[in-house]
Structure 1
Amino acid sequence: MADLDDLREGTNFAGPATTASGFHLKGLGGQDWGMRSRLSRIFDPADGKTVMLAFDHGYFQGPTSGLERLDRSIVPLIPQADALMLTRGALRTTIPAENGKGIVLRASGGPSVLKDLSDEEITVSIDDAVRLDAAALAVQVFIGGENETKSIKNMSTLVDQGQAAGIPVLAVTAVGKEMVRDARYFRLATRIPAELGASFVKTYYVEEGFESITSSCPVPIIIAGGKKVPEREALTVAYRAIQEGAAGVDMGRNVFQSEHPSAMLAAIRSVVHDSLKPDEAFELFEQLSH
């Protein structure tokens, strides 16, 4: 085991990625064909970016605002997303099989908002993931949480099973209320899952040092939308994250809780795929809202 008496915080995070694999996602060019094929259903091969629509909140929150009726709120938005992050129950009951989007399947769960959320288990078998043609499996990782080791074990088990079946794993960093949301924490919370086999990582944007997070993680990072904020603010966060090395966004509440969800999703796409600046994207949002 490494000596823990002289832990030094890393400082050399600058410079572009140097690995040239011919594949459009960093760190993943050596994966099997099936893995790369599934990742290409999530990340657009033209630019290596993704706009994921997350609506898996019901697995621990129930019918939260905006997700009371998935058939009304989510199905009309599907054409504008690159990939969908959801539960297998929502997939089977509500999502048309001909939708053509990459399916990022929520594969962990257990506790509700009434319990300790970090006490999760794997809730989807690899056989069912294959049966559902999942493009990736998503699992929470609670770095620094009460059940940190358990969540890492959950992720590692899914990575083993996913490698055998050709299905990549998305590690979702879960931050407890008592934790400091800064670049130092997120470098730790994203690097650990990547080191242990996650193909891509979902985390939060921070204003100071976000580039050190994306550069020190050897696999793609996408950002979570987090709580609902004004549209211009959400578009600004998305723009900054992409400019500072993120490979996409996975937004939920800032889309389906917007007064104009379709317009908001289109504006987010313009930021991620067309490099529109926040003011330009917000202008597009306002145009499409009328």
Structure 2
Amino acid sequence: MADTDDLREARDFAGPRTTTAGGFHVKGAQAQDWGLQNRLSRIFRRDTGRTVMLAFDHGYFLGPMAGLERLDATIAPLVPDADAIMMTRGALRTSIPPHSEAGIVLRASGGPSVLRDLSDEHLALDIEDAVRLNAAALAIQVFIGAEHESRSVRNLAALVDAGQRHGIAVLGVTAVGKDMVRDARYFRLATRISAEMGAHVVKTYYVEQGFETVTAGCPVPIIVAGGKKLPELDALTMAYRSIQEGAAGVDMGRNIFQSEHPAAMLAAVRAVVHDQVKPEEAYELFRGLAADSASA
């Protein structure tokens, strides 16, 4: 067993990784099979290496939260402007048109509702159903530091094994309990464990201090969770800083579908992520598109 008595703080990160190896545009995937690389290319744009993912999988433990009461009415119209969409298989089959071109990221873990301990999750999707649904990736929560940490890591490993057999990527989501410290040291630990266990992409939270060490220390792409609803300028600022500090994209839900003008907000986020437009300029884009929509 490794000695844990004299763990030293890691510090030699040399800044965020900005290039990929082997000529493939997704970090850490240069040695993967053709099929898996093709699926990753449905998520990450080849010209930028980044993604804007629209998340609306919240219903699997929260039910019909604000903005997600009618997926067919509020979410389906946004899908054409997202690079990838993250949802449950039930939401995909019932509410998303089959001609959609966005990369499909399916929620693969679940179990407890918001009324119980969320870390008590299990695998909740068969790999054959993911193949039937033409999934590009499968998303699973990893609860580092929570009561059911070991099970969640085992779930991740099992999903990676299944994904590798079928050429489907796995997105490890670093779940953070309300009592956990959200700092760079914790996220370096949680993201690195997910990548070391085989996740092809990791989703985590942005922190203002040291986030560049989180992205530098993770050998696969990190995408940033939007988290709770923020004022639009604040959300765009978080997205911009994330990209500047090494993230390969954002996975936003509430900051898009709970905006008064979701389509305008999605367009502004795309400008930040793919065109590196500064937050203030993106916010003006949002306001202009919102005004046009209101007057239409």
Q: TM-score range by the shorter chain?
A: over 0.9
Listed one character per residue, the Cα deviations across residues 179-227 of structure 1 (whole Å, up to 9, x for unaligned) are: 1100000000100000010000000000000000000000000000000
Letter in structure 1 aligned against 2:133: L
Task: Give the 3 Å change call, closer, same or farther, for CA 259–67 of structure 1 in structure 2.
Answer: same
1:3 corresponds to which residue? Answer: 3
Unaligned 5+ segments in structure 1 are: none
1:150 corresponds to which residue? Answer: 151
What is the SS of the residue equivalent to 1:41? helix
Mapping 1:79-158, distance limit 5 Å? 79-158=80-159
What is the SS of the residue equivalent to 1:89? helix
Alpha-carbon distance in structure 2 between the residues aligned to 1:261 and 1:177: 27
Alpha-carbon distance in structure 1 between the residues aligned to 2:81 and 2:107: 20
1:35 corresponds to which residue? Answer: 36
1:80 Cα deviation after fit: 0.8
Structure 1 segments of 4 or more deviating over 4 A?
none
1:266 Cα deviation after fit: 0.2
Q: Tell me the TM-score normalized by structure 2.
A: 0.97
Is structure 2 residue 267 aligned with structure 1 residue 272?
no
What is the SS of the residue equivalent to 2:86? strand
Alpha-carbon distance in structure 1 between the residues aligned to 2:127 and 2:34: 18
1:100 Cα deviation after fit: 0.9
1:57 Cα deviation after fit: 0.2
User: Which sits farther off after the overlay, 73-82 or 1-10?
Assistant: 1-10
Mapping 1:121-200, distance limit 5 Å? 121-200=122-201
Letter in structure 1 aligned against 2:8: R
Alpha-carbon distance in structure 1 between the residues aligned to 2:46 and 2:20: 17
1:5 Cα deviation after fit: 2.0
Percent same amino acid among aligned pairs?
A: 71
1:9 Cα deviation after fit: 1.4
Letter in structure 2 aligned against 1:77: L
Letter in structure 2 aligned against 1:14: A
Letter in structure 2 aligned against 1:8: R
RMSD, aligned CA: 0.8
Alpha-carbon distance in structure 2 between the residues aligned to 1:19 and 1:101: 23
Alpha-carbon distance in structure 2 between the residues aligned to 1:107 and 1:253: 20
8 Å Cα contact 2:16/2:246 also seen in 1: no
Alpha-carbon distance in structure 1 between the residues aligned to 2:164 and 2:16: 28
1:14 Cα deviation after fit: 1.4
1:57 corresponds to which residue? Answer: 58
Unaligned 5+ segments in structure 2 are: 292-296
Alpha-carbon distance in structure 2 between the residues aligned to 1:131 and 1:72: 25
Listed one character per residue, the Cα deviations across residues 63-108 of structure 1 (whole Å, up to 9, x for unaligned) are: 0000000011001101110000000000001101110110000000
Task: Give the 3 Å change call, closer, same or farther, for CA 186–150 of structure 1 in structure 2.
Answer: same
User: Which sits farther off after the overlay, 176-185 or 14-23?
Assistant: 14-23
Aligned length: 290
Alpha-carbon distance in structure 1 between the residues aligned to 2:23 and 2:248: 16
Q: Tell me the TM-score normalized by structure 1.
A: 0.99
1:26 Cα deviation after fit: 1.2
8 Å Cα contact 2:16/2:215 also seen in 1: no
Alpha-carbon distance in structure 1 between the residues aligned to 2:21 and 2:65: 43
